[in-house]
């Protein structure tokens, strides 16, 4: 059986949309789900954040078991007494998942910035493929049109990141690549950019026709505009652990994409 998908469940992070999306992927991949809940979750639900109020351990356990039983694939509940980062690190060691799944809040008054901040903290502390699912929107499922956003500089992915190949096999999908240029960052050309993708074996060799270098003064708006133009089902982002001087990609760009993308965003953390 394929590696499971670990869904981060919390009073904010477990959204019906994220769980439904993860379950749909699990069905297509013929794999299982793991619902991970950290009791002492100071990242997603800090004590001093107004809307949050603790729920008893027994009530939480019952709710998670009910949720697991309703899923269309075998679903395990993993409850940790550790804080979120340590809970996720332990879950990765225990389950060896294909990816982690986090839901973006579905209501306007939910703490989007906490979920986005949590995603960024996790990518730094536990560098593992992270899928952030936005509130409901029209979509094709499983995703068939993937758009990979890169900055054109060489990168090295951490291990266990063959998720793109697996997603492409689900529906014989396509992968295009986008790089945004601005007044400070000139065009690099197809050969140099596509070499960075090929060096990480993300997919089969891509022809230059599947690369799009677009001009925009904002990296975020340029990527999202190209994703909309191509009607992409899934945005894939390579995020660096440390910023490169002069690089277009840095923490705030990734965070803004997670916050504003109307389609799910798969973040692949890089070593450099």
Helix (H) or strand (E) holding 61: helix 57-69
Helix (H) or strand (E) holding 53: none
Indicate if 95 and 190 belong to the same structural domain: no
Looking at residue 49, its pLDDT comes to 40
Q: For residue 171, is pLDDT > 70?
A: yes
Q: Is residue 181 part of a domain?
A: yes
Indicate if 160 and 123 belong to the same structural domain: no
Q: Is residue 140 part of a domain?
A: no
How large a percentage of the chain has pLDDT more than 70?
82
Q: For residue 231, is pLDDT > 60?
A: yes
Instruction: State pLDDT tens for residues 205-222.
Output: 899 999 999 999 999 999
Instruction: State pLDDT tens for residues 128-158.
Output: 999 999 887 555 678 999 999 998 888 888 8
Report the predicted TM-score, pTM, of the whole model to 2 decimal places: 0.89
Looking at residue 53, its pLDDT comes to 43
Q: For residue 43, is pLDDT > 80?
A: no
Indicate if 54 and 158 belong to the same structural domain: no
Residue 201 near residue 166, CB atoms below 8 Å: no
Indicate if 116 and 155 belong to the same structural domain: no
Mean pLDDT, rounded, for 165-180: 92
Q: Is residue 91 part of a domain?
A: yes
Q: Is residue 139 part of a domain?
A: no
Q: For residue 42, is pLDDT > 60?
A: no
Mean pLDDT, rounded, for 2-6: 92
Question: Looking at 86, 102, 133, which one is the last position of a domain?
Answer: 133
Q: Which of 170, 177, 235, 171 is nearest to 208 (CA)?
A: 177
Indicate if 81 and 112 belong to the same structural domain: yes
Looking at residue 186, its pLDDT comes to 74
Indicate if 54 and 154 belong to the same structural domain: no
The better pLDDT of the pair 121, 264 is held by: 264
Q: Is residue 22 part of a domain?
A: yes
Alpha carbons 41 and 84: distance in angstroms, whole number? 5
Q: For residue 182, is pLDDT > 90?
A: no
Phi-psi bin for 37: left (phi > 0), alpha (psi -120 to 50), beta?
beta
Q: Is residue 155 part of a domain?
A: yes
In the β-sheet with 211-215, what is the strand arrangement from edge to edge?
A: 75-80, 33-38, 5-8, 99-103, 130-133, 265-270, 234-240, 145-149, 174-181, 211-215
Indicate if 155 and 238 belong to the same structural domain: yes
Indicate if 161 and 107 belong to the same structural domain: no
The overall average pLDDT reported for the chain is 83
Question: 54 CB contacts (<8 Å, ≥6 apart)?
Answer: none
What CATH number corresponds to the domain at position 128?
A: 3.40.50.620
Indicate if 111 and 231 belong to the same structural domain: no
Instruction: State pLDDT tens for residues 73-132.
Output: 999 999 998 888 999 999 999 999 999 999 887 655 556 777 788 888 888 889 999 999
Q: Is residue 158 part of a domain?
A: yes
* Structural domain count of the chain: 2
Indicate if 234 and 166 belong to the same structural domain: yes
Indicate if 61 and 114 belong to the same structural domain: yes
Alpha carbons 115 and 43: distance in angstroms, whole number? 8
Confidence of residue 248 (pLDDT cuts 50, 70, 90): very low
What's the DSSP call for residue 177? E
Question: Looking at 133, 165, 194, which one is the last position of a domain?
Answer: 133
Helix (H) or strand (E) holding 37: strand 33-38
Looking at residue 241, its pLDDT comes to 63
Question: Looking at 68, 103, 133, which one is the last position of a domain?
Answer: 133
Q: Which of 70, 100, 97, 104 is nearest to 84 (CA)?
A: 100
What residue numbers bound the domain in which 75 lies? Answer: 5-133
Looking at residue 47, its pLDDT comes to 41
Q: Is residue 45 part of a domain?
A: yes
Please count the other Cβ atoms lying within 10 Å of the Cβ belonging to residue 171.
15
Confidence of residue 51 (pLDDT cuts 50, 70, 90): very low
The whole-angstrom distance between residue 70's C-alpha and the CA centroid of its chain comes to 24
Looking at residue 117, its pLDDT comes to 82
Query: If 0-12 CB within 10 Å is exposed, 13-18 middle and 19+ buried, where does residue 214 land?
Result: middle
Indicate if 86 and 161 belong to the same structural domain: no
Q: Which of 18, 21, 40 is nearest to 110 (CA)?
A: 18
């Amino acid at each position: 059986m394929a590696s499971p998908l670990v869904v981060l469940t919390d009073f904010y992070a477990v959204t019906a949309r994220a769980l439904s999306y993860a379950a749909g992927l699990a069905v297509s991949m013929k794999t299982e789900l793991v619902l991970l809940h950290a009791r002492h979750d100071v990242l997603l639900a800090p004590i001093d954040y107004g809307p949050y109020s603790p729920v008893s351990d027994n009530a939480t356990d019952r709710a998670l078991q009910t949720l697991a039983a309703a899923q269309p694939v075998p679903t395990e509940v993993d409850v940790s007494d550790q804080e979120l980062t340590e809970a996720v690190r332990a879950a990765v060691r225990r389950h060896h998942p294909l990816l982690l799944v986090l839901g973006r809040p579905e209501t306007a008054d939910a703490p989007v910035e906490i979920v986005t901040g949590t995603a960024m903290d996790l990518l730094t502390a536990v560098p593992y493929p992270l899928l952030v699912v936005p509130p409901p929107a029209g979509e094709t499922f499983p995703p068939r049109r993937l758009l990979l956003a890169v900055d054109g500089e060489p990168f090295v992915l951490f291990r266990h990141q063959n998720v793109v190949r697996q997603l492409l096999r689900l529906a014989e999908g396509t992968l295009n690549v986008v790089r945004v240029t601005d007044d400070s960052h000139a065009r690099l050309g197809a050969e140099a950019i596509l070499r960075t993708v090929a060096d990480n074996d993300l997919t089969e060799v891509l022809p230059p026709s599947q690369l799009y270098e677009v001009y925009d003064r904002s990296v975020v708006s340029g990527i999202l505009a190209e994703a909309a133009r191509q009607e992409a089902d899934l945005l894939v982002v390579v995020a660096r652990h440390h910023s490169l001087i002069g690089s277009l990609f840095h923490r705030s760009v990734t965070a803004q994409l997670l916050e504003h993308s109307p389609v799910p965003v798969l973040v692949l953390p890089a070593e450099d």
